[in-house]
């Protein structure tokens, strides 16, 4: 039987050096921010100072994959620090980018964690001009090759929303690469892309064009977050649409949609890694009843709830999300050390 969801507000902060207060960051939306040349020029119009700051750190790394004749120039944010602890690797949700982590990434890094933010193949700011396949198998292989080439150590893999399905699929298929999991408002019970996979290609392209429409994305913003002002909502829509401006975005998204997408519900009980499930109490997109179900089905998991929060806690409540991730890692580290500590032999 599942334990009741625990509020993040009642948790102790085990990393006192991590001051998880947004007011500590006095980043200004300076006109002279140096953005990578491969980002869409509309990045200059973004007002959010955290998005602008993180965008200056996005780079592309060459990744070789069997389904691509040439290396895929793959976008990510690399860590500023190297740590003796295993790295934390942040995925994003459906049709999003690493900029989704604009508020929580600096908090984790400030706490001393070696932190990566990775763009999932088909979304984000990678160059996909010569890449035709963006189905689940391709996304998995691409991520594995990036991990093998650059990260090279077992990681704490963090997946929000559909990114949780990506994380579960990856952890089950590549257990040597994943030390533990953080699943945030996890979309792991959807049956892939459903009937969309059966659409004729022309109809699929028409549907995808609607997906990037401004009204739909603005509606999703107000559904996903509580109490967001209209001006903030507009800016967040523009942040979320940046990667849609690439000429290959429609092809990549259609490739994913007609492939059937992620269907990981049967993989959940195969996850062996220690996992924390984090959920926004007021999620209007995925019911927190599914959080309890996931906790019941994941063999080695704990569950925590963030009050007064919607679907994406790492955007809406970054302080709470960062605190829960840090506590989880601290507790995991302590348990691991205790298991490895030699027992004292008693001599009579």
Catalytic positions are 161, 283, 311
Laid out side by side, the sheet with 155-160 consists of: 6-7, 301-306, 274-280, 178-184, 155-160, 88-90, 115-118, 72-77, 58-63
* Helix residue ranges per DSSP H, the chain: 49-55, 104-110, 136-146, 162-173, 201-211, 214-224, 230-241, 249-259, 289-297, 313-316, 318-340
> What's the Cα-to-Cα distance from 35 to each of 42, 50, 196, 226, rounded to whole Å?
11, 13, 36, 30
Residue linked to tokens 């967001």: 228
Other CB atoms closer than 10 Å to residue 116's CB: what's the count? 23
Residue 224 in contact with residue 297, Cβ under 8 Å?
A: no
Please choose, from the candidates 147, 114, 117, the residue with its C-alpha nearest in 3D space to the C-alpha of residue 51.
117
Residue 153 in contact with residue 86, Cβ under 8 Å?
A: yes
């Amino acid at each position: 039987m599942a334990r009741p969801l625990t509020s993040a507000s009642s948790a102790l902060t085990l990393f006192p050096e991590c001051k998880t207060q947004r007011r500590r960051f006095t980043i200004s939306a300076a006109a002279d921010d140096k953005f990578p040349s491969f980002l869409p020029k509309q990045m200059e119009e973004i007002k959010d100072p955290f998005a602008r700051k993180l965008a200056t750190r996005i780079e592309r790394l060459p990744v070789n994959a069997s389904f691509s004749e040439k290396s895929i120039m793959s976008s990510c944010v690399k860590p500023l620090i190297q740590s003796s602890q295993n790295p934390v690797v942040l995925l994003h949700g459906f049709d999003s980018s690493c900029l989704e982590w604009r508020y929580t990434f600096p908090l984790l890094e400030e706490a001393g964690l070696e932190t990566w933010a990775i763009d999932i193949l088909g979304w984000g700011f990678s160059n996909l001009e010569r890449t035709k396949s963006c189905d689940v198998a391709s996304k998995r292989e691409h991520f594995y090759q990036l991990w093998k080439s650059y990260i090279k150590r077992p990681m704490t893999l963090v997946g929000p929303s559909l990114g949780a399905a990506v994380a579960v699929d990856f952890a089950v298929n590549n257990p040597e690469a994943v030390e533990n999991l953080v699943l945030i408002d996890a979309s792991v019970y959807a049956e892939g892309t459903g009937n969309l996979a059966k659409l004729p290609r022309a109809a699929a392209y028409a549907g995808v064009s609607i997906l990037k429409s401004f009204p739909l994305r603005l509606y999703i913003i107000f559904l996903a977050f509580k109490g967001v002002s209209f001006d903030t909502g507009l800016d967040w829509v523009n942040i979320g649409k940046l990667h849609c401006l690439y000429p290959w975005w429609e092809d990549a998204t259609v490739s994913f949609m007609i492939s059937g997408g992620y269907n990981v519900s049967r993989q959940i009980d195969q996850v062996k890694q220690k996992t924390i499930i984090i959920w926004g109490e007021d999620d209007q997109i995925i019911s927190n009843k599914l959080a309890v179900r996931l906790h019941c089905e994941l063999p080695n998991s704990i569950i925590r709830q963030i009050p007064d929060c919607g679907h994406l806690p790492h955007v809406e409540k970054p302080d709470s999300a960062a605190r829960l991730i840090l506590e989880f890692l601290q507790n995991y580290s302590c348990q691991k050390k205790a298991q490895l500590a030699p027992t004292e032999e008693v001599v009579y």
